[in-house]
Amino acid sequence: MTLADPTPSTAGFAGSTASPRLFEKHSPVTGASLGQFPIADSEAVDAAVARARAAFPGWRDTPLAVRLEALNRGRQVLLEHADDYARKIAADTGKPIFEALMFEIAVVPLFLDHYLKRAPKVLARRKVSTPLAMAGKSGYIEHFPRGVVGIIAPWNFPFQLAVLPVISALIGGNTVVLKPSEVTPIAGEVVADFFRRLGLPPGVVEVVGGDGSTGAALTRANVDMLFFTGSVATGRKVAAAAAERPIPCELELGGKDVFIVCADANLERAAEAAVYGSMGNCGQACVSVERAMVVDSVHDRFIELVKRKLEKIKVGGPDENADMGPMTFAKQLQTVERHVESARQAGAKVLTGGQRLARAGLFYPPTLLTDIRPDMDIYREETFGPVLPVIRVRDEEEAIRLANASEFGLVGSVWTQDLEKGLRIASRLESGQVMVNDVYSSVGHPGLPFGGVRSSGIGRYHGDEGLLSFMNVKAILVDRGKADYDPIWYPYNNKLASAFEVFRGVAGKKLGSVIRGFLGLRKASIDGHDGK
């Protein structure tokens, strides 16, 4: 099979089979309606899954090099459509066009480059070493695709958090049914357009638009794996549906990422990064800084620097040349308001921001909170908005203890000029990724696996692990097949003493004993087969 001639495939929004239910999308910038979008029902989801299943054998059997070549066409598609895509994603989410371009679109060729290089190595059959006690046999590990993968995406990075898992699954030979978020249906259409333009065979990527009911239908459909990115609450439902079958399920959930500032940190860089790491994408990132823990001796200076930098951030819509947009989802804005208000009432100080802006749209200003205590919601729960809560800690030990006492464990960072110390603290933090003197970068590094511990999720994507997540593992053992029988097979008579010799050799690491035992087993076997 070759895929050399790209013609538009069927990848696109599958609506309901009859007249679909619709939902309305409002602009986070102006509040105006941006149109109505169909909600695929379970019948439409099942039909999409059936098309993906029909496409699976052909795509699985397409050579890896041809699959990679087909996906690599994405580079050209993005070169031609990046401007249009970035503007549509920005209108849908409210984020600056700069962020739509850099964090949603530009990461795709970066990951494609990496996988073009790594996939042939990672997915190749590899030999494993075989113990002497199994001499004459060889062991291999190879991988084969799961089948049809159901991928459910969130709204905060609606392009890249849909496209990257889909590409990772496709590389391994899976076919995919993708459900984008109903909060960002325009970006969902952009994703469908991107895959349509790759000219993949029909059914290789199906996109079903809709809300939570569509996602739930996908979890119940005839898929072989679920890959979910979103909230912990929905993640639990997805995992429960996967357990019913049972099928593998990967969960990329929320975070309460820590940012530990040591006394010897480059404070200027740390303050700049705390601002960027908490306000980028309007704080709506699972990798956002959600708890800055600052050692007492530098706390006040750090606060001073951060406050000044936060107040310089220009807030506005995508057409206002702003640094930070509105929030994307009204419900998330309510969470931010609840967290800030309850923290304020419990004694937190609001040093800047702290109140919704008096204009249309979902605008909330950069907000800095101090005097945060562990009993506050904002300390424990994911806020997912433009708020930086700062916690004063006695020393680094206290910061590590508090960081690890969290329900979450997605990403963390350590700020120190002593890189050895930075690495030591990184090793002690219980989270999926840790950076030393950086924010955001680890999730953008295509060679690093991404995912969380505890309530932040199960499984990894990105890096080699991100390809293997979508694969079944197969172990193969080969015997040359020359001998008519193996010495440990029937009959067992007269073999016990030699078996003990082998066992003592293996357990006691005595090579001579292993060899003597095997020679004894072999002789007893030959005698047994000769009828002696």
Please give the positions annotated as active site: 252, 286
Of 280 and 316, nearer to ligand NAD (C-beta) is 280
Shortest reach from residue 212's CB to ligand NAD, in Å: 3
Of 77 and 90, nearer to ligand NAD (C-beta) is 90
C-alpha distances in angstroms, 44 versus 175, 222, 236, 374, 446? 17, 13, 24, 46, 34
Q: Which residues does 485 contact at the CB level (< 8 Å), separation at least 6? A: 525, 529
Of 354 and 452, nearer to ligand NAD (C-beta) is 452
Q: Kind and range of the H or E element at 22?
A: strand 21-26
Of 226 and 294, nearer to ligand NAD (C-beta) is 226
**How far is Cα of residue 478 from the mean position of the Cα atoms in its chain?**
36
Of 457 and 520, nearer to ligand NAD (C-beta) is 457
Shortest reach from residue 347's CB to ligand NAD, in Å: 27
Shortest reach from residue 150's CB to ligand NAD, in Å: 9
Produce one character per residue of 294-324: b if its CB has 16 or more CB atoms within 10 Å, e if not: bbeebbeebbebbbebbeebebbbbeeebbb
Shortest reach from residue 251's CB to ligand NAD, in Å: 8
Cis amide linkage into residue 154, ω under 30° from 0: no
Of 93, 357, 396, give the one whose Cα is nearest residue 258.
396
Q: How far apart are CA 82 and CA 229, in angstroms?
A: 24
Of 27 and 229, nearer to ligand NAD (C-beta) is 229
Residues β-bridged to residue 349 = 370
As given in the structure block, the two tokens for residue 208 are 């079903």
Q: How far apart are CA 266 and CA 400, in angstroms?
A: 19
Shortest reach from residue 339's CB to ligand NAD, in Å: 14
For residue 500, the SS3 value is helix
Q: How far apart are CA 388 and CA 306, in angstroms?
A: 9
Shortest reach from residue 233's CB to ligand NAD, in Å: 6
Question: Are the beta carbons of 378 and 389 closer than 8 angstroms?
Answer: yes
Produce one character per residue of 99-113: b if its CB has 16 or more CB atoms within 10 Å, e if not: bbbebbbebbbebbe
Of 154 and 505, nearer to ligand NAD (C-beta) is 154
Of 234 and 513, nearer to ligand NAD (C-beta) is 234
Q: How far apart are CA 118 and CA 525, in angstroms?
A: 47
Of 302 and 461, nearer to ligand NAD (C-beta) is 461
Residues that bind ligand NAD (CB under 6 A): 152-156, 161, 179, 181-182, 211-212, 215-216, 219, 229-231, 234, 237-238, 252-255, 286, 382, 384, 410, 452, 457
Q: Which residue is nearest to ligand NAD (CB)?
A: 215
Q: How far apart are CA 105 and CA 252, in angstroms?
A: 20
Shortest reach from residue 444's CB to ligand NAD, in Å: 12
Question: Are the beta carbons of 429 and 454 closer than 8 angstroms?
Answer: no
**Is 121 exposed, middle or buried (CB count within 10 Å of its CB: 0-12, 13-18, 19+)?**
exposed
Shortest reach from residue 44's CB to ligand NAD, in Å: 15
Our CA dihedral for 10, 12, 17, 18, rounded to 10 degrees, sits at -130
Shortest reach from residue 224's CB to ligand NAD, in Å: 16
- Quickly list H helices, 346-415: 377-380, 396-404
C-alpha distances in angstroms, 156 versus 90, 288, 446, 459? 11, 12, 19, 20
Phi, psi angle pair for 366, to nearest 5°: -55, 130
